[in-house]
Amino acid sequence: MENQLLKLTGVAKYFGEVEALRYVDLDIQSGQVVGLVGGNGAGKTTLLRLMAGVIEPTSGSVMFRNSPVAGMRERLGVVPESTGLYSRLTAWENIRYHSRMYGVPDDIAWKRVLKFAKELEITDAMSRHTKGFSRGMRQKTALIRALAHNPDILLLDEPTAGLDVTSARTVRSLVGNIRDDGGTVIYSTHHLAEAQQVCDRIIIVHNGTIRADGTPDQLLEATKKENLEDAYVFLTSDKARPRVENEKKEGKLSKWWRIFLTGKTPKITESDEDE
């Protein structure tokens, strides 16, 4: 399909003996906000990392416009749950550093920064050091950083986690505007109500498998339920697998950014998954 951006075919992912994902087939089309919904340990973050080319599948393929996604990272914008801002730099310096790595001239990056900073209502903060930023300010800056090189697809991992009501609403509004402008967003969340608000399509992930994939109305029709919460409970009625912890693990922030920006993928153990 001409508007197909990402295609996952037969994707499975193991960490040691732990099955993180089981044979996932997905097509992501342009111009949509696609929600990945599931609880902790469901497989959402693993799926996002595969889509971003941060990790490779144990089997199957992840393609971006008919090319392996690992070689197309410059066309992706990624916002991990941990923002990874350099506290000694201003918001603009953080964004400029990122944009230069993608070969974007400062004047072009600045024009895009102003556009999104205005939408997120943080224009005055661009010249401030990020050390004293609130969680909401940091998240908004990370969003602008991910958009400054004009990616084809934006991947968001729990983008409103820990935000106040106003900041979360502003972030959701920006996501909607990106979609209205023809952009594509993958939106991972464990809040079903949030997914219903912002997503055109909802993919329910549970215990490493895709339990449902469709519009909110399609999910209701398929489950014969009156609301999405009942539909979700019906589709995920089997006991959730335990979350795997690691006593000495590299932080999510460090791992995401080091791998995404350098392309160097370390050996990952089963305890590295921290969804």
The answer to whether residue 190 sits within a structural domain is yes
- Per-residue pLDDT, averaged over 141-155, amounts to 94
**The Cα angle at residue 138 between residues 135 and 143, in degrees rounded to 5:** 125
Q: How far apart are CA 137 and CA 121, in angstroms?
A: 10
pLDDT band at 7 (very low <50, low <70, confident <90, very high): very high
Quote the CA–CA distance of 264 and 259 in Å, as a whole number.
5
Q: How confident is the model at residue 238 (pLDDT cuts 50, 70, 90)?
A: confident
Q: Is residue 68 part of a domain?
A: yes
Has residue 175 been placed in a domain? yes
Give the residue numbers spanning the domain of 92. Answer: 4-240+250-262
CATH of the domain at 192: 3.40.50.300
Least confident of 15-24, 55-64, 135-144, 244-253: 244-253
pLDDT on residue 273: 37
Give the per-residue pLDDT at 150.
93
- Beta strands 201-206 and 18-29, pairing class: unpaired
Give the model confidence (pLDDT) of 17-61 as tens digits.
888 999 999 999 999 999 999 988 889 989 999 999 989 999 999
Residue 131 neighbours by CB distance under 10 Å: 11
Residue 191 has pLDDT above 80, yes or no: yes
Query: Is the alpha carbon torsion for 255, 253, 126, 116 positive or negative?
Result: positive
Is residue 273 situated within a structural domain? no
The verdict on residue 18 lying in a domain is yes
| pLDDT at residue 223 greater than cutoff 90 | yes
Reference 245, options 264, 224, 269, 227; nearest CA is 269
Q: Which residue has the tokens 């923002």?
A: 83
Across the chain, mean pLDDT equals: 86
Instruction: Give the H or E element holding residue 138.
Output: helix 135-147
The answer to the question of residue 82 being in a domain is yes
189 inside domain = yes
What are residue 72's phi and psi, to 5 degrees? -125, 25
Domain count, the chain: 1
**Inside any domain, residue 66:** yes
